[in-house]
Amino acid sequence: MNEDSSSLEAIDPIAEEPRRGRLTRAGLGRLSRRLALPAATAVAAASALIAATLLPLPSVAQEPAELDVAPVPTTQQLVCPGPLLRLSDQSGQDASATLALGQTELRSATSASELEQTALGEQAHATVLTAPPESGSDDAPLVAGLESQSVADGDYAGYSAAPCTPPSSESWLVGGATGLGRTTLLVLDNPTEVTASVTLEFYGDQGPVSAPGTGGILVPSGERRVFALAAFVPEIAAPVVHVLSRGGLVSASLQQSVVRGLEPGGTDIVPPTAAPAARVELPGIRITDPDAIGERIGAEGYEDLQTVVRVLAPGNAAVPVRVQVVPQDPEVDGAEFELVLEPGEVSELPLDELVRGSYLVRLEADAPVVAAARVSQVEGDYPELAWVTATAPLADTALVPVAPGATPRLHVANPGSEEATALLVDAEGEERELSVPAGGSITLPVDEGEHRLENAAGLRAVVTYAGEGARAAAAVQPPAPTSGAVTIVR
């Protein structure tokens, strides 16, 4: 090839194409190698990521620390309501003053090594029982009290017995009346160190009752407030009072007295009934003179001698309820009936044709209800009455102090499905074994003084009195609620 041919070849457009972006086989190889490196890297990274999700990774975990804290047992405190009161001074003029009608007999019992008794309020009508915790013990001490009183002061004549009860933020009082010749006082005691702000809610046979002055009632620390129930709800034959307290806690009760014309009609102190529940037990319905009651009950003003169960469904819906009247004597026929309670309306269920003896009344409802029973007698110079409140389930050990009174009896009910065996021990250590039938109750005489009921978990108990001119009932109180151990997780 000559020189000219070489020059032409050098400027051949095809030979110059690589400089203008055309890829030769060598260029393609170099480009492929450059692209292959990041692609391979990406594939490797993706493969590593997939592998990381499939392979177990090392983990670091720490179990939460748990700390069991057992609260220190607290001092146990009960309030004994003291004697019956009258809203007046000695001259009968000052309705803002409270006059005590005599004195009570108090019997108490405790598992603590010491029990302090102090007066509450300036007029010292109530008594506070205080049992401090035992040194080195993890359990709160047991404490119980029961007081009784006979009174004969003009229109006030009768006998009453009432348990000492713990202060609470909520109480239900089922009893009393504010109609003609019926006087009922509401008593609020505050044994705590904080002023209590109390709200009252009232119910009657027509439903909830609105009344002025029922909110923000202040009960100072260590003081008592007493009100005539008629000032809130006049002319109510069957009241129920719901007591709510904020700040300090209060012990609430009712005091009822009856006069028919010139004849005294009895007195009683009504402690709080058991909290609303779907199953309510009322042991200790003691019928002593049914024929005499039947003869007097038809006279004007004597209608409330009839034995009744007062019951309220405090919710917002109608509540079906089944009522059982269970006699202690197996030879006596019981009774059973059903009804529907209207929400917020108080009902009184008459218990007719009960023969002499002791009965247990049981209510089984579709929603929580509160209840108490009123029993009467006409033996003696004047009629008498007693309110039997619903009872709360007892713990394994229950203290049963018995105050002085006519023929005291202990009624023990067993709501369980199997026979229960309990042990009653008196102050001298004498023991009596009690066999309580399933779904039934027993009654036995007890002496004045201290008693202890063992193996009593789930049972209910009431102390009753009956005699000439004397009638009363006092539920045996379970231990005050205490705090259990708490597990703190952090």
**CB-hemisphere CA count at 13 Å for 277?**
16
pLDDT one digit per residue (tens) for the chain, 490 residues? 444 443 333 333 333 343 334 434 444 344 344 434 444 444 344 444 344 444 454 555 555 555 554 555 578 999 999 999 998 755 555 666 788 999 999 999 999 888 999 999 878 789 999 998 877 666 788 999 999 999 998 889 999 999 999 999 999 999 999 989 999 999 999 999 999 999 999 999 999 999 999 999 999 999 999 999 999 999 999 999 999 999 999 999 999 999 998 889 999 999 999 999 999 999 999 999 999 998 898 888 899 999 999 999 999 999 999 999 999 999 999 999 999 999 999 999 999 889 999 999 999 999 999 999 999 999 878 899 999 999 999 999 999 999 999 999 999 999 999 999 999 999 899 999 999 999 999 999 999 999 999 999 999 999 999 998 899 999 999 987 654 444 455 5
Cα 185 from Cα 174, distance rounded (Å): 13
Cβ neighbours of residue 273 closer than 8 Å, sequence gap 6 or more: 172, 173, 174, 370, 371, 372, 389, 390
In sign, the C-alpha dihedral spanning 108, 424, 388, 365 is positive
Cα dihedral 335, 341, 344, 350, rounded to 10, equals -30
Contact 74, 99 (CB under 8 A): no
Give the whole-angstrom CA distance, residue 112 versus residue 105. Answer: 21
What 3-state DSSP class applies to 490?
coil
Give the integer Cα–Cα distance in Å for 382 and 169. Answer: 38
pLDDT for res 139 = 77
pLDDT score, position 54: 45
Pairing of strands 357-377, 319-327: antiparallel
Q: What share of the chain is helix, strand, coil (3-state, %, to 5)?
A: 10, 45, 40
What integer pLDDT is reported at residue 92 of this predicted model? 54
SS3 of 40-64: HHHHHHHHHHHHHHHCCCCCCCCCC
Tell whether the torsion through CA atoms of 451, 140, 128 and 168 is positive or negative: negative
Q: How far is CA 53 from CA 42, 59, 334, 431, in A?
A: 17, 14, 74, 74
* Burial category of 2 from C-beta neighbours within 10 Å (exposed 0-12, middle 13-18, buried 19 and up): exposed
Domain boundaries, given as residue ranges, for the chain: 3-54, 72-488
- Residue holding tokens 């109608």? 318
What integer pLDDT is reported at residue 353 of this predicted model? Answer: 86
pLDDT computed for residue 37 by the predictor: 42
Strand ranges for 215-306 from DSSP E:
217-219, 223-228, 240-247, 251-260, 263-270, 277-287
Determine if the pTM surpasses 0.85. no
